[in-house]
Chains A and B, each alone.
Chain A
């Protein structure tokens, strides 16, 4: 039986990023436990987008910091994560312009360089866009994207160099608590002695928290997504219009999705409705890609909280930490969330004060912070 300073449950970007920042703080006797393979959860299924164009102080500040960290990752991790600041081009109808002007004002106050642009400027950024029915766009050139599999792999290699233990194909089954203190984490293969557990289990986070009697207000929504065959990169920004989003990866594939307005579900099957709807929506915005073939479609979970903000930090049970409920934004938040959780473990508080507004207590006190800019 091994003893570990921290046991991290979940090998997605949240778990690996937390381990990475703990290791950088000098804590190396830790373990990441992943029930399948690294990135097999939502991280490996996501849309690659990284944006600061949000509508709340908390999201904007966390994402401004995360973009800074994405740059550091690009420069410092053992391999490129293909972070690219191609911008987010958020196409708007006339009726949406006023609201987004307000959002941009808040973003600017908090130091994000977004701005509202007109139709003609949209054409300058992506010449092929069909601007019919569009009044303008909210544009932030420092937003961007990164490649999930390279990110996971870069973190894996970095952790390996720090000598950190990663267990794959091993599932956490039980967490033993005695006298209000965590004692052990039991997997289907082994038992670890520990007093610190990070729940970074994504779609499995609710189940993990229940093991220690903590109830999380999380719902699973299936979201579908597709990629095309590759062509030379011609589209660097992420384009958003209503629920539709798409960009092109550095490998040349158009990647994107839209929302089918489904009820919560536990199923990860693709459905026959998605491709025709997505194709119609994307071709109405970018008709010139009509002859590209779809290569793959798949589905993943948005793990959604009542106010579309994540739940971060400690709980009533000492040593039980949460990095859960990202509501569709957990990839972009990965770097900052890992650093926040690591500082919480090392220093007892998350290093950005805004993050403390995002802990579990807000649901008890009713201090919810609604995010209005949710895509897909």
Chain B
């Protein structure tokens, strides 16, 4: 193993997590042998071994590395065993793989891949997304005698929760005081015990409204799903912000930093600048410290810190400065971030001249908000509306989470970016609503779940969501 690289980036000990990395395998990267752990993806193995640049961009030939770490951004595409454009961040390592950088566009494929014949599935209820919203709905269905099909594009169920090592806020019933990873584990266990069918590593890629068919791709098979009801619990994706050098290796989505640290036990860098001081930015900064990474500072464009006071206080205790009315202007480096420049903003978010500040860092993490993942719902023909309070375009829905199409329901961050606690309740509410439509007696549970949700949203942080809901709820 490349001792220097591995030593540099592997997390050796962690206050909360224990990493079960599995045995070792070897693969080839441009003729060099790389030693990887069995449980790793190709991108993680390369990164742990000190490799930052995975490809060159197609027009300007700028270096590219990992950005999202969950298969959503195409930044990590490489040629693997003669196949171009492989997203290496979600490709498990296998021994003797041939991995190469792409210089500009990939060369055409050299081998032929054989696909399994397409299959069709008839379902009563199909849930897209195996995060807290999707899993809580699945559990309600199964407990009421309906086996739903759960489709999840990642290898693991649990959504965002499987990375949350901190203790949760929210109501007792939905797991306050418990770590996110533990809530996820319990839900996944329940789903298994109830024998709920799940398709992991399966992407729902298209919804065809004329026949109400969902197109799903699993490894090398096309699956057509025909279902009486669909529940979309696809969550949200990270928002990118424009600044010079935002494509340099070493600029990560904050979620990617979390994936590296908390799932794969890899340090994203040595010294990080966090952009965004909402809960996500604050929590991940703290998790970086726990992983032994230095956090140089947190900058926030708004004049106030967006996240909870306790999270900010924890960081301050470690001496991490949080600069409000400040944003990133530039990331600088040759093959990786070496420096960053931030700038102060006035109350109209204009840059204040001569207020630049230079940071000696090797990593920039962006936690500048999430956008609901609504594309499939738009394809399905559900009416959408923009609500800044809910973080973007979201489907119009009634109080029971039915969209403008009678067989399509939503729950969780896809209905408006909020929290795991509300995602869990929304998942249950949507499930009861569908059960009621199917003729089951669920009126009482619907009322109860709705009042639980109201309670959760009655605090100061709920006002924003309530305003948003006013804009997008019908009836």
7 residue pairs A–B, Cβ–Cβ below 8 Å: A231-B105, A232-B104, A267-B210, A269-B209, A271-B211, A275-B206, A291-B109
- Would A275 and B215 count as touching, CB distance under 8 A? yes
Pick the contact of A231: B84, B209, B224 (CB < 8 A): B84
- Would B222 and A275 count as touching, CB distance under 8 A? yes
Q: Which residues of B contact A (CB under 8 A)?
A: 58, 83-85, 104-115, 118, 206, 208-211, 213, 215, 222, 224
Chain B residues closer than 8 Å to A269, beta-carbon distance: 208-210
Pick the contact of B108: A231, A270, A275 (CB < 8 A): A231
A181 CB-CB contact with B under 8 Å = no
Pick the contact of B222: A234, A276, A288 (CB < 8 A): A276
Residue of A nearest to B212 (CB): A272
A297 CB-CB contact with B under 8 Å = yes
Pick the contact of B105: A232, A275, A293, A297 (CB < 8 A): A232
Chain A's nearest CB lies how many Å from the CB of B311? 39
**For the complex, what is the distance from the CA of A279 to the CA of B217, rounded to whole Å?**
14
- Would A232 and B208 count as touching, CB distance under 8 A? no
A287 CB-CB contact with B under 8 Å = yes
- Would B206 and A297 count as touching, CB distance under 8 A? yes
Q: Would A272 and B113 be within 8 Å (CB), given that A230-B58, A231-B107, A232-B105 are in contact? A: no
Chain B's nearest CB lies how many Å from the CB of A44? 18
Chain A's nearest CB lies how many Å from the CB of B88? 14
Residue of B nearest to A248 (CB): B108
* Shortest beta-carbon contacts, A-B, top 9: A272-B208, A291-B83, A272-B213, A290-B113, A291-B109, A291-B113, A232-B105, A234-B108, A287-B112
Interface size on A, residues (CB 8 A): 22
Residue of B nearest to A235 (CB): B108
Chain B's nearest CB lies how many Å from the CB of A267? 7
Besides A232-B105, A267-B210, A293-B85, 13 new A-B residue pairs in contact (Cβ under 8 A), listed by A number: A229-B85, A269-B209, A272-B206, A272-B224, A279-B115, A288-B111, A288-B112, A289-B109, A290-B112, A290-B113, A291-B109, A291-B113, A292-B85
- Would B104 and A291 count as touching, CB distance under 8 A? no
Chain A residues closer than 8 Å to B208, beta-carbon distance: 269-272
**For the complex, what is the distance from the CA of A229 to the CA of B109, rounded to whole Å?**
12
A252 CB-CB contact with B under 8 Å = yes
Residue of B nearest to A276 (CB): B118
Chain B residues closer than 8 Å to A230, beta-carbon distance: 58, 85, 105-106
**For the complex, what is the distance from the CA of A201 to the CA of B7, rounded to whole Å?**
66
Chain A's nearest CB lies how many Å from the CB of B207? 9
Q: Would A232 and B109 be within 8 Å (CB), given that A269-B209, A271-B210, A272-B224 are in contact? A: no
Chain B's nearest CB lies how many Å from the CB of A279? 8
**For the complex, what is the distance from the CA of A279 to the CA of B114, rounded to whole Å?**
12
Q: Would A272 and B209 be within 8 Å (CB), given that A230-B105, A231-B85 are in contact? A: no
| Binary CB contact string for chain A from 248 to 270 against chain B (1 if under 8 A, 0 otherwise) | 00001000000000000001011
Chain B's nearest CB lies how many Å from the CB of A82? 15
Chain A residues closer than 8 Å to B108, beta-carbon distance: 231-232, 234, 288-289
**For the complex, what is the distance from the CA of A232 to the CA of B104, rounded to whole Å?**
8
Chain B residues closer than 8 Å to A234, beta-carbon distance: 107-108
Chain B's nearest CB lies how many Å from the CB of A255? 15
- Would B112 and A270 count as touching, CB distance under 8 A? no
Pick the contact of A292: B109, B213, B222 (CB < 8 A): B109
Chain A residues closer than 8 Å to B84, beta-carbon distance: 231, 291-292
Residue of B nearest to A274 (CB): B208
Q: Would A270 and B206 be within 8 Å (CB), given that A231-B108, A275-B215, A290-B109 are in contact? A: yes
**For the complex, what is the distance from the CA of A269 to the CA of B222, rounded to whole Å?**
19
Chain B residues closer than 8 Å to A276, beta-carbon distance: 118, 222
**For the complex, what is the distance from the CA of A232 to the CA of B83, rounded to whole Å?**
13
- Would B115 and A290 count as touching, CB distance under 8 A? yes
Residue of A nearest to B209 (CB): A269
| Binary CB contact string for chain A from 213 to 240 against chain B (1 if under 8 A, 0 otherwise) | 0000000000000000111101000000
**For the complex, what is the distance from the CA of A109 to the CA of B211, rounded to whole Å?**
49
Chain B residues closer than 8 Å to A297, beta-carbon distance: 206
**For the complex, what is the distance from the CA of A77 to the CA of B126, rounded to whole Å?**
52
Chain B's nearest CB lies how many Å from the CB of A264? 15
Chain A's nearest CB lies how many Å from the CB of B221? 11
Choose among B84, B104, B108 the residue with the greatest number of A CB atoms under 10 Å from its CB: B108
**For the complex, what is the distance from the CA of A279 to the CA of B215, rounded to whole Å?**
14
Residue of A nearest to B226 (CB): A272
**For the complex, what is the distance from the CA of A129 to the CA of B361, rounded to whole Å?**
51
Kindly identify, within residues 283 to 310 of chain A, every residue whose CB is under 8 Å from any CB belonging to chain B: 287-293, 297
Choose among A267, A272, A276, A288 the residue with the greatest number of B CB atoms under 10 Å from its CB: A272
Chain A residues closer than 8 Å to B83, beta-carbon distance: 291
- Would A290 and B114 count as touching, CB distance under 8 A? yes
Chain A residues closer than 8 Å to B58, beta-carbon distance: 230, 252
Chain A residues closer than 8 Å to B114, beta-carbon distance: 290
Choose among A229, A288, A291 the residue with the greatest number of B CB atoms under 10 Å from its CB: A291
Chain B's nearest CB lies how many Å from the CB of A83? 21
Chain B residues closer than 8 Å to A287, beta-carbon distance: 112
- Would A291 and B224 count as touching, CB distance under 8 A? no
- Would A272 and B105 count as touching, CB distance under 8 A? no
Residue of B nearest to A294 (CB): B205
Chain A residues closer than 8 Å to B110, beta-carbon distance: 288
- Would A272 and B211 count as touching, CB distance under 8 A? yes
Residue of B nearest to A287 (CB): B112
**For the complex, what is the distance from the CA of A101 to the CA of B109, rounded to whole Å?**
35
Residue of A nearest to B84 (CB): A231
Chain A residues closer than 8 Å to B104, beta-carbon distance: 232
Chain A's nearest CB lies how many Å from the CB of B174? 37
